[in-house]
Amino acid sequence: MNSGITLEIPAKAEYLSLVRAVVVSAAALDPAFENQRLEDLRLAVSEATTNAIRSHANLGSEERITIRCGLTSDRIEVEVQDRGPGFNPEKITPSGSLDEPGRLNYEGGFGIPLMRVLADEIKINSADEGTTVQLVVYTPPSNDNS
């Protein structure tokens, strides 16, 4: 991810649609990227950015969220980095399933499970200084006989 673009935003919800627009524009640089996968990526990145923004609730407004976006021949990689307090991802989603009984009793907790379903790869690195979520979506091979 030395190449590609970097976007820094204030940790405010109003910037979410801008982040989505950037990711869509970046992915559009690869014409092989299919519409459905673009939707998946857009939603996954939006979820990661929403969590990042939430994690800054107790930080000064100068602390930014960083979104990095890299395209290579076979994948698009997006990294969302916050300076929030961090968390333990293993403790959050023990089962990862969305359709357990009683699931509707609370209104949150969809974000990480959704990201796991939408992205082809996801890595969450979290520590006291912040969290980095790395999302990878594969692009189809550019030859036509797929």
Ligand X SMILES: Nc1ncnc2c1ncn2[C@@H]1O[C@H](COP(=O)(O)OP(=O)(O)O)[C@@H](O)[C@H]1O
What's the closest the beta carbon of residue 43 comes to other proteins, in angstroms? 6
Handedness of CA 116, 72, 67, 38 (dihedral sign): negative
Considering the complex, state which of residue 43 and residue 124 has its C-beta at the smaller distance from a second copy: 43
Return the structure tokens found at 9: 């935003």
Q: Tell me: does residue 21 bind a second copy (CB under 8 A).
A: yes
What does 98 interact with, of a second copy, ligand X, other proteins, none (CB < 5 to 8 A by kind)? other proteins
Residue ranges binding other proteins (CB under 8 A): 13-14, 16-17, 20, 28, 36, 39, 42-43, 46-47, 50, 53-54, 98-99, 103-104, 107-108, 110-111, 113-114, 117
